[in-house]
Chain A
Amino acid sequence: MSKEKLIDVNDLATYFHTEEGTVKAVDGVSFEIYPGETLGIVGESGCGKSVTSLSIMRLIESPPGKIENGEILFNGKDLTKLNQKQMRKIRGNDISMIFQEPMTSLNPVYTVGDQIMEAILIHKDVSKKEARQEAIDMLTKVGIPLPEQRVDEYPHQLSGGMRQRVMIAMSLSCDPQLLIADEPTTALDVTIQAQILELMNSLKRQFGMAIMMITHDLGVIAEVSDRVAVMYAGKVVEYADVKDLYGDPKHPYTWGLMYSIPHIEKDLERLEAIPGNVPNPLNFPEGCKFNTRCQFATDKCRVDEPELEEVEEGHYSACWHVDKLEEQKAKQGRG
């Protein structure tokens, strides 16, 4: 891709200094997002996905949290160097965010109209009346029936799916260049999930914004992403085009995750998730952080930490033994 990067995250590290010790929630993460594309970020619970996105928004609670290292270039400007006032101009306007729980991410004491209008009134110089009209337009765009009526309803009068649509309306009301969606469908049931993903895809075409889609669900990632970053224990361990990643995973962790997607029609052994647990972030293992669960781990893995390396064109993996993985895949007669 020759286009200008919209956001370029380099070696980002965000730690939490707690009483028990330092939690290295994000520890050297790099990725970039180009205008209009969707980057998927996938990984198990606690691997630092939310902390990465909150770092970009500069919403890390401090103390205990702190961005320790790295830069976040947004249109060439380093967000880590901005003060809160400058950051506020960017939040909701250039970069906006939707959250996992549509139940709790809306304020129960205001109507949905009030909340969408708030987003508009913070950033645009319009009258309340115009803002209200824009709110109604946004509700129409996110596919809420009877928007003139819904605009005056309270969040508890709406279903989960409708609430998430309202959140999306809110976050897109100022036409952001980047939308960060932190598990936007996890709390919804499957059919609604599909509708929301569909909606996000169509809004992306309509608004032309880029999306950073965070999830622990590989199925969701496959559906919406152009490229994918797989995170494990605060690091990106594999980074590739969505097709390459699914067709030919180059990191034992990704490979394991794929096997944990239930393929009921295929053989049952593949239902097994990766054995073992995510390591305690207060006490990560030496070397490769996946070494406690990796079937290919060697002594080298327990001493030296691998960095992301380009193993095929545009396909990065942080593993010392990609070759062993390839052997295993060949043995199993797979991709």
Chain B
Amino acid sequence: MTSYMPPADRIWWKVPVGRVELVWIALALVWCVIMFLMMPYWHIYGKQNLSTEAYQTTPAAYGAKVQAMVEQYKVRDEANLPVVAPPAGSDIYMLGRLWQWWPILELEKDKSYRLHLSSMDWQHGFSLQPTNINLQVVPGYEMVIEITPDKAGEYGVICNEYCGIGHHTMVGKIYVKE
């Protein structure tokens, strides 16, 4: 009943704390510290980390870079979309726009690439499935992440940031070859 009455003791902050609470606070605090340390630990020893490399850009400037890559490394067309196979280790580009991921990328397994992402218009969500990697794609910003596809196969890039009525039709592709 003291929860909605003033504390029984005038100097309530001097009342000693019970054992149950002290033990629990100690345990919880230790756990909080462990969780906190896991993040820097993973930056050092883990393989999946978020890059902080990003540049301010404009849709026109970014679009030109994507276009240049497509012209240089296009290997074929698929459903009216260019399929691009840039060399291992290179900078690769994908852009999101209403309602398309462009172009299709063809990568080699166990090779690293510097993937650039940006949007031409609204915000989009780069959601690589089924591996389940999700990144926010924001207009005016070009994010660069080094990726190393480690399983061959066909991957879907679905948009998981709501971007209007055609949101659900925004599906792209990345192929990873042996």
Partners in one complex: no
Which residues of B approach A to under 8 Å, CB–CB? none
